[in-house]
Structure 1
Amino acid sequence: MTNNNNNDKKKTTFKFNFYWVYGAIFMLILAFQFFGSGDLASRNLSKNEFTKILEKNDIKYVLVKNNVAQVFLTEDALKKDDYKKQVNSPFYREGSPLFTYRFGDTQNFEKDVKATKEKLNLSVDIQYMDPTSFMDTILNFLPIILLIGVWLYFMRRMSGAGGSGGPGGQIFNIGKSKAKLFDKDTKVKTTFENVAGLEGAKEEVQEIVDFLKNPKKYTSLGGKIPKGALLVGPPGTGKTLLAKAVAGEADVPFFSLSGSDFVEMFVGVGASRVRDLFKQAQQKSPSIIFIDEIDAIGRARGKNSMTGGNDERENTLNQLLTEMDGFGTDTNVIVLAATNRADVLDSALMRAGRFDRQIYVDLPNIVEREEIFKVHIKSLKLASDVNIKFLAQQTPGFSGADIANMCNEAALIAARNNKKAIHHQDFLDAVDRIVGGLEKKNKVITPKEKETIAFHEAGHATVSWMLEHAAPLVKVTIVPRGQSLGAAWYLPAERMIVQTDQMLDEMCATLGGRAAEKIIFNKISTGALNDLEKVTKQARAMVTIYGLNEEVGNITYYDSSGNDAFVKPYSEETAKRIDIEITKMIEEQYKRALDLLTLHKEKLTTLAQLLLEKEVIFKDDLEKIFGKRPFEKEEEEIKDQKNNTTTTKEEATVEE
């Protein structure tokens, strides 16, 4: 409570000072207006204008001070239309000079006025004031001095030099680097032990750390320290985590910052920060610089540039290129960078000598996912039924960040259900929550809609069960989650390459839901939108990217550089053929699904009724209805034959 009160007092004091300063400025302006020697409404006259007013006999008297004549008009003259604009000004006050006239030599001014006065018989009087003293000069410039002082005051507060409590900023240090320095005084706890999986990437990065620790091991053989390493990979795969491990393992200063830290609204700031960053790193060499999300400044130059040659981002990139491998840069500074958009980086940045190594950090495979799970469950209280190996199988395509989120979500689900430990089912519920979305138990679904959903999901399950290359089923549910009204969960095989029949089986299983609706109700619904989108993308990829269609041929229209985003790389005739082949492929798999479900219509109905009753069914329920998958029986028979053959040979050897 005391700290909060103190903070409130600080905020109140600052706010009070803020308005007090502005109030003081306003009062000074008023004082200058009403009590100053001049008037804000007075206008400066040229020599001809002054002579004309003098000849009209409109001037009552002239007050001379420091070669400046303040012109006071007669009462009759003030009523004339020629001077109404000045008199009606909100800044004019009665008895003040309406005009001022700056002349050069005082004697010539007196001579001219006297000659005109005698010629036209005027009654103009010339009065003199003492020359301005030093104090008068200060008073005249006091408002400007105060304004400059207030401006400096706020600039100092913005730069953090105006005392605690002021808003932080970098106005005076804007060209300085924003990198955070990690050294022996700021020990990082993350090490390579905290990085599970990523064995290839770890090996590359560990070698850089080893080079900094034991340089003679490499330099004795003539090797040179690598200039940089670029970590490339999808989001959440552990690129920044690897950099943290390097900071924790290396006994050298580690500078960490983001690519956006170089970007500022002022011209030249980015390049200045790059220079300052490398200057600091060179002073503490050997050292490491880590730039996260380097694509913020490293995009290819000259592409989609709308600002011309003086592009601030390009200037920053040019300075970075010079610092990394320019003329005479021979320092023990290694640059680590991370990005998930390596395709947009400038080719000069990617060349050897700047980033000597490109380390691809891919999504973890099943073995690496199991290792990642073991890291993240160390702090969790688990029940004895948790099967980490099965969870690794159940999470294909999950990144390390996804797995960490899943473990945390499982702990939250267990706590929500008042459990003393986290059970295996909590992890499965966490997968459902992350992939499918939040369970919507209160969503209103009519009995007819529920029946349609049940047969749709049963159709997916039935077709996938009968096809050899379709992913084996784990669970089917008609409980709404997120935007889906039902879902079927599979255990996909992690293949390095995919063959044509495997992709066709997956397409057929995906169309099983719509085929089941057609067979049972002789109607189709909008519930298959996601399925149709998926199979259309698959079919288009088979025809236009992978060259898996005989009619179109062994050709691909895929450009990995991404330069054909707005260009169609084939003719209209080829486009028609592609559309025909995509439609033909999808319709063939749809007919195949219809044939399979027609053949097993009774079992499909039994499965759908069980799903309506239980709402969630598992692989064991499908085995009770369908028996074992046909090709699994064949595999078991082949294994039995091999085992029998091996046993017969062993018996024959024993008899001999």
Structure 2
Amino acid sequence: MQQKEKNFTYNKAQCIFILLALALSGLVLYISQEQHVIPISEKRFEKMMLDQEVKSVALITNQQLVEVTLKEEALAKEDHQKEIKEKIIWKTSSQVVYTFRIPSIEIFDRNFKDIESKIDPSIRIGYLSEERSKPYSFINWSFLFTLFVIYWFFLRKPGNSIAGPGAQLFNMHTLKATVFDKDNQIRVTFQDVAGMQEAKEEVKEVVDFLKTPEKFTFLGGKIPKGVLLVGPPGTGKTLLAKAVAGEANVPFISLSGSDFVEMFVGIGAARVRDLFKKAKEKAPCIIFIDEIDAIGRARGKANVPGVNDERENTLNSLLVEMDGFSTNSGVIIIAATNRPEVLDVALLRPGRFDRQVSIDNPDIIDREAIIQYHSKELKLESQIRIRQLAEQTPGFSGADLANMCNEAALIAARKNKKFITMPDFQSAIDRIIGGLEKKNKLISPEEKKIVAYHEAGHAIAGWFLPHAHPLVKVSIIPRGIASLGYAQYLPKEQVIYQEDELLDQLAMALGGRAAEELIFGKVSTGALDDLERTTKLAYSLVTIYGMNAKVGNLSFYNSKQTDYAFTKPYSEKTAYTIDAEVREIVEEAYRRVKILLKEKLESVTLLAETLLVKETLFKSDVERLIGKRFSSDTKETISPEEKLSASTEQPTTLPSEHEP
């Protein structure tokens, strides 16, 4: 009811403004005329001519109009003065003219000559012909433009915004947020959120509270004021928040953390206050703040005093407002971020964000549900196996899987297919992982040979190292910006890694450079990405995971550290030890993989020469060339097909190598 009254008041004010604008426009147009016009008939014009009252006659040819100007002594006559007073409401110093319309120029010319034939030739005045534009001056259009600017900036009601009239200029403190209510409802429900079963269970309590709050208040319980969704980009945090609003069927105010940021002092804090004021008016409702780390970063991290005052003032206002409403007010705050470590501790404490919901990349069950959901509208071939696609995409986020389905449809359409086939999905996975295939990128035979042996070194190392990820595909086709070849592996979905597993991954990453040195006696720049990954992994072994005997069971990783640290948490002697141990770990892994490749040199050569011919080899091709892969799980040779159910000879999953 209150919102209806506001809308009625606003519409009434708008109508009054429009009427006043029209009246003022007409008045200004009238006053700004260069002359006052009195219409007359052609017969009266003839009488004026015969009475010798006419000073001049102008024929406006493009308007078929005749303007008659009288002499001063004629205008001073009583009958003319009386007529002027009756027909001109507001008399100014402008000139008075009499006008009449003519049917055609030829007829007027003939009639005018007939009239002048009755007058003495010595006092004939003739007439002037001219073309004239509309009698609107520049000031009239300037006035209309000014009225339009006033309406736009002061009285225009922003569409679909919680800000009211005047929000465009002087109401900068009001927040430009998107509001979904009964007039603009959210159609997303939990059925549209595939996977994330645990996360949906967490937020269903919010829906139950908004629908039936007495169920919780009866027992004295308090619903969480805020729910923080934490997870990597593309995992569906925003989608889940919209589903909560859609299920609860309550107003949903959506905005981003950057919407509070403004160049003017105090605007951010004012917008926070305005947000909560509007939310309370629409209660029960949900406030969703995406990327809250834009305003919720930890305070006191700046080295220069006052540099973050405005952002900190905005955060302080947010903290006060989140504490300023009761739990039964019907306002629930849902925020999302992929950087929880940078948030201020006061923002995360119970009473503000009481509950944190972690949304990670989907597992194989969730990936199958997500692919199933996004492929509902696609025309799929009957042989498409959703389960296999889920197995081949470990590490993919929900956004990646949606993109994969869309890319597969585009690839099939490009080939003029009637249905989307499994190879289309495999090509889509390839494109997402390695980038667009560069079919027209020319490389020399020498470079191609180096790339082939480099990739063969990775493949053979991964094939025989017991803890390395199983090889799926190896290719020397250029992809992406600078990749001349790549290998894809099928990593296990695990969180905890043992030391021997990490060391095998380290050795496999160095397999490409080791193969180059064995075959050509020198190395190239193609191992840049490999060296970067091995360096980070080796330092992690020593300084983070405590897997080094000399450094000991120490970890110098600080999960709460958000800014760059100018001082290291260890001495120079420890730093020297760390560098020496890291170098020793990398050198040992390089020696180990080099010995392995020297023993399997025949397999490396066979695989590289085959790559030079076919350019792409799948796991079944490698198996036919060098035999079945050794598995650390069974300590015996097994087929890769047994590890991947119903697999095909197509590229499958995440790349472990990208070679420039």
**Shorter-chain TM-score above 0.5:** yes
| Aligned residues of 2:223 and 2:327 also touching (Cα < 8 A) | no
| Aligned residues of 2:631 and 2:637 also touching (Cα < 8 A) | no
Q: What residue number does 2:222 align with?
A: 224
| Aligned residues of 1:519 and 1:598 also touching (Cα < 8 A) | yes
- Equivalent residues in 2 for 1:542-621, closer than 5 Å: 542-562=541-561, 565-621=565-621
Letter in 2 for 1:171: L
Larger helix proportion, structure 1 or 2? 1
Shift in alpha-carbon separation, 1:566–1:396, aligned structure 2, 3 A:
farther
Letter in 2 for 1:438: L
- Equivalent residues in 2 for 1:455-534, closer than 5 Å: 455-482=453-480, 483-534=482-533
- Equivalent residues in 2 for 1:205-604, closer than 5 Å: 205-304=203-302, 306=304, 308=306, 311-326=309-324, 331-482=329-480, 483-562=482-561, 565-604=565-604
Q: Which moved more, 1:606-615 or 1:622-631?
A: 622-631
- Equivalent residues in 2 for 1:21-40, closer than 5 Å: none
Letter in 2 for 1:267: V
2:405 and 2:286 map into 1 onto residues whose CA distance is 33
1:400 and 1:163 map into 2 onto residues whose CA distance is 34
Shift in alpha-carbon separation, 1:401–1:504, aligned structure 2, 3 A:
same
2:521 and 2:333 map into 1 onto residues whose CA distance is 64
The one-character-per-residue Cα deviations of 1:211-232 (angstroms, maximum 9, x if unpaired) are: 1112222222211122111111
1:163 and 1:470 map into 2 onto residues whose CA distance is 58
Q: CA deviation at 1:305?
A: 7.1
Q: Which moved more, 1:315-324 or 1:476-485?
A: 315-324
| Aligned residues of 1:396 and 1:492 also touching (Cα < 8 A) | yes
| Aligned residues of 2:295 and 2:314 also touching (Cα < 8 A) | yes
Shift in alpha-carbon separation, 1:336–1:347, aligned structure 2, 3 A:
same
2:373 and 2:633 map into 1 onto residues whose CA distance is 38
The one-character-per-residue Cα deviations of 1:60-96 (angstroms, maximum 9, x if unpaired) are: xxxxxxxxxxxxxxxxxxxxxxxxxxxxxxxxxxxxx
2:486 and 2:553 map into 1 onto residues whose CA distance is 36
TM-score relative to the length of structure 1:
0.71
**Is the partner of 1:170 in helix, strand or coil?**
coil
| Aligned residues of 2:628 and 2:637 also touching (Cα < 8 A) | no
Q: CA deviation at 1:163?
A: 13
Letter in 2 for 1:343: E
**Is the partner of 2:631 in helix, strand or coil?**
helix
Q: CA deviation at 1:568?
A: 1.3
1:148 and 1:324 map into 2 onto residues whose CA distance is 47
1:290 and 1:375 map into 2 onto residues whose CA distance is 25
Question: What is the number of residues matched between the two proteins?
Answer: 494
Letter in 1 for 2:517: K
Shift in alpha-carbon separation, 1:302–1:446, aligned structure 2, 3 A:
same
Q: What residue number does 2:132 align with?
A: none
**Is the partner of 1:225 in helix, strand or coil?**
coil
Q: 1:158 aligns with which of 153, 158, 163?
A: 153
The one-character-per-residue Cα deviations of 1:382-429 (angstroms, maximum 9, x if unpaired) are: 123323223222222221111111111111111112221111111121
User: 4+ residue runs of structure 1 moved beyond 4 angstroms?
Assistant: 147-153, 327-330, 632-638
2:216 and 2:325 map into 1 onto residues whose CA distance is 24
Q: CA deviation at 1:276?
A: 2.2
| Aligned residues of 1:225 and 1:332 also touching (Cα < 8 A) | no
Q: CA deviation at 1:328?
A: 6.8
Letter in 2 for 1:575: A
List gaps (5 residues or longer) in structure 1: 1-20, 29-134, 136-146, 639-656
TM-score relative to the length of structure 2:
0.70
Shift in alpha-carbon separation, 1:312–1:155, aligned structure 2, 3 A:
farther
Letter in 2 for 1:428: Q
Shift in alpha-carbon separation, 1:456–1:160, aligned structure 2, 3 A:
farther
**Is the partner of 2:334 in helix, strand or coil?**
strand
Letter in 2 for 1:484: S
Letter in 1 for 2:445: P
List gaps (5 residues or longer) in structure 2: 1-24, 33-91, 93-141, 160-165, 639-660
Letter in 2 for 1:629: R
Q: CA deviation at 1:517?
A: 1.2
Shift in alpha-carbon separation, 1:295–1:160, aligned structure 2, 3 A:
farther
| Aligned residues of 2:253 and 2:288 also touching (Cα < 8 A) | yes
2:157 and 2:247 map into 1 onto residues whose CA distance is 39
| Aligned residues of 1:156 and 1:162 also touching (Cα < 8 A) | no
Letter in 2 for 1:409: E
Q: CA deviation at 1:311?
A: 2.8
Q: CA deviation at 1:306?
A: 4.9
Letter in 1 for 2:285: S
| Aligned residues of 1:457 and 1:477 also touching (Cα < 8 A) | yes
Letter in 1 for 2:518: I
Shift in alpha-carbon separation, 1:498–1:163, aligned structure 2, 3 A:
closer
The one-character-per-residue Cα deviations of 1:220-260 (angstroms, maximum 9, x if unpaired) are: 22111221111111111111011111121112222212222
Shift in alpha-carbon separation, 1:298–1:155, aligned structure 2, 3 A:
farther
* Superposition CA RMSD, Å: 2.9
Shift in alpha-carbon separation, 1:172–1:637, aligned structure 2, 3 A:
closer
Shift in alpha-carbon separation, 1:637–1:519, aligned structure 2, 3 A:
closer
The percent identity for this pair of structures is 61
Q: CA deviation at 1:626?
A: 2.1
Does 2:191 match 1:196?
A: no
Shift in alpha-carbon separation, 1:184–1:152, aligned structure 2, 3 A:
closer
Q: CA deviation at 1:379?
A: 1.4
Q: CA deviation at 1:173?
A: 2.9
Q: CA deviation at 1:637?
A: 9.0
Q: What residue number does 1:183 align with?
A: 181
2:406 and 2:182 map into 1 onto residues whose CA distance is 32
1:571 and 1:450 map into 2 onto residues whose CA distance is 46
Q: CA deviation at 1:632?
A: 6.8
Q: CA deviation at 1:266?
A: 2.8
**Is the partner of 2:295 in helix, strand or coil?**
helix
Shift in alpha-carbon separation, 1:217–1:636, aligned structure 2, 3 A:
farther
1:479 and 1:440 map into 2 onto residues whose CA distance is 7
